[in-house]
Structure 1
């Protein structure tokens, strides 16, 4: 099946008719349909299919037990009302690249793997890259079992309902020992390639990033009868903290976003007793990130005290700066160099990826495909057809250089 045929099959799964975006959350029906699609693609190509202890899907050409396998792939889940390309482009391109290599008559000297990592976006349980974190030992079984969605369903309950064994999850060093190199293709989440005029780029590093939960606790009361002077309204310091995050990010050349909020009792005519907001912050270096988060916390405490509101701040996740393997990156640059004076640009990124999680255990690299608008995590996310095809060709070239004679 061609790239276009695969893309057309995958496109309707989990798509919202209201927003046009995707709701492929971990261990839901839409996620299951995506998993079924992956298995179908693997078996249809005569690949050995397996699901590991953490629910990640693998398709193998050759025997991975030999070690030094070259693996590619990405994820199929989405953020709420996310775009079509973030994650799926890398999986579809992996199968298409294998098809192209077979069409070239390439002879594989190393095992080739294609992977769909589970719950990369963290949309349901609030933690990104759960599948790869568990595999790499960056998330403990105890931590994973405590993850809960907005409906109070735990990760083990969700996995079991989807037909998977939650008691089997955990670090999988033997699987990682099979991998000699992991290359993830991804749509660029930004406009660097569009501005430079390049179709394909290489990742240099992932910015350090994390998520912090701010709990502003006030006093519920009647919105119509309580004097302004008598209120302990947590919405006010929360709103001021949102503005403070923007201010501090601008000063540090970083980014900071309050993109999720929960309010109790959440009534139009009730002063909230609790406003819970989640801060996502990222920066090019650790020092800048530390400054932003520290200043936002400081401002939040000052605003809370002014309004007689209590504040708790908890860091829910954090990923330090990830420098992708320089030797692998340089090898890919050599492979993709067309012999002209134009070199494949090397880009930094503020987005987290499974490749970043695995980088502490195996050599990893990333290819980016041009995004003409830079929009991501939105139904407006896009990539031109010819750029996607160029990405498939680049990935095929990379895999041929790494895994074939």
Structure 2
């Protein structure tokens, strides 16, 4: 908890919670904190070609046991999502060192870059680039809301964007990956659980185009207002998801040019869909097209990210549930572990969240449960590293 307390004032958001995004000032401060804490734990830190940080206990090598998470947040996010897994990994290392334990295989703590996609829109950016799941040219061209490209932001942070892309050297070193994370719902009545699956999920951008005009002089029948079909699409997303037992959210909607007394010429909205997400998007797209046509507007739909259902390694899950006497827990939240699961045995450990709230300031975990999570992670790492 003292490690998490170190971070309490970094990246505070004006509206509450935190704003810590890939390659921004707050994340740079967090990355420097990680380097310092890893050094105190006797770990040697290196940065890979995609901006991910690796802190090695001993020499880097193949078949490594890797743990860690991310330090960035969603806009207005909570204190635990991401940092708990990094601070917990460092605490677990200290716990093991204090007992005189030395791993019999290469061992690393990793911090993945831009897991939340809060700045550049693509989640798990660092792990997707590492594994080749995200095209490097597409990544370099991603822009934040201020128009800054990922390439520009990375270069300012001292990471060469020309080297972005699948990193076989780093990927081949990962033998097993275990990520500790705050639970992001209210599914636990015990302190710790082992992850079983991650729901299919993706993000799509709906871009509506109409005719900008004066809010006071343009009568309703003469309008081609893209906000009208955009609003209909938000409602359609809720309606469609409820009929197919899925989850659909519009958390970001941007009108252009954005004046209070201006009929927008365009509106972009982003749909996050999970569980039968492609079925949801197909129906929502049809509803958006009908609504756009009725208003004399057009709409284009662009897939920005997608991941199918992930089932974590059965043998690793069985080993951890038995070792920790812990239940399994499915989730609709994406993680770097789910990206790595296609390349190496990967697992999640969840720490109970009594509020059931995440991606918001009310996200919480009791100190005693955090301690249980660190103990569980240390036990898992000790078992897996011998």
Normalised to the residue count of structure 2, the TM-score between the two structures is 0.98
Structure 2 counterpart SS, 1:192: coil
Match of 2:2 among 1, 5, 20: 5
Deviations 1:341-367 (A, max 9, x none): xxx221111111111111111110000
Deviations 1:107-152 (A, max 9, x none): 4211221000011111111111111111111112211111111111
1:314 aligned partner:
302
2:166 aligned partner:
171
Cα distance between partner residues in 2 of 1:151 and 1:20? 21
Q: CA deviation at 1:251?
A: 0.8
**Residues 290 and 163 (structure 1), Cα distance of their counterparts in 2 relative to 1, 3 Å cut:** closer
CA contact (8 A) 1:19 1:379 kept: no
Cα distance between partner residues in 2 of 1:139 and 1:313? 19
2:313 aligned partner:
325
CA contact (8 A) 1:133 1:139 kept: yes
1:24 aligned partner:
20
2:292 aligned partner:
304
Deviations 1:64-89 (A, max 9, x none): 22x22111000000111110000000
**Residues 267 and 20 (structure 1), Cα distance of their counterparts in 2 relative to 1, 3 Å cut:** closer
Cα distance between partner residues in 2 of 1:64 and 1:328? 23
Structure 1 counterpart SS, 2:363: coil
Match of 1:198 among 158, 183, 190: 190
Cα distance between partner residues in 1 of 2:329 and 2:5? 30
Q: Which runs of 4+ in 1 moved over 4 A?
A: none
2:34 aligned partner:
38
Unaligned regions of 5+ residues in structure 1, if any? 338-343
Q: How many residues are treated as equivalent by the alignment?
A: 386
- Match status 1:361 vs 2:343: yes
2:93 aligned partner:
98
Q: CA deviation at 1:25?
A: 0.9
Deviations 1:282-340 (A, max 9, x none): 01xxxx32221111111111111111111111111111111111111111112112xxx
Normalised to the residue count of structure 1, the TM-score between the two structures is 0.93
2:127 aligned partner:
132
CA contact (8 A) 2:41 2:93 kept: no
CA RMSD of aligned residues (A): 1.1
Structure 1 residues 377-388: aligned runs within 5 Å: 377-388=359-370
Match of 1:51 among 47, 54, 74: 47
CA contact (8 A) 2:198 2:333 kept: yes
1:340 aligned partner:
none
Structure 2 counterpart SS, 1:278: strand
CA contact (8 A) 1:265 1:272 kept: yes
Q: CA deviation at 1:180?
A: 1.2
- Match status 1:188 vs 2:180: no
Unaligned regions of 5+ residues in structure 2, if any? none
CA contact (8 A) 2:202 2:277 kept: no
CA contact (8 A) 1:202 1:367 kept: yes
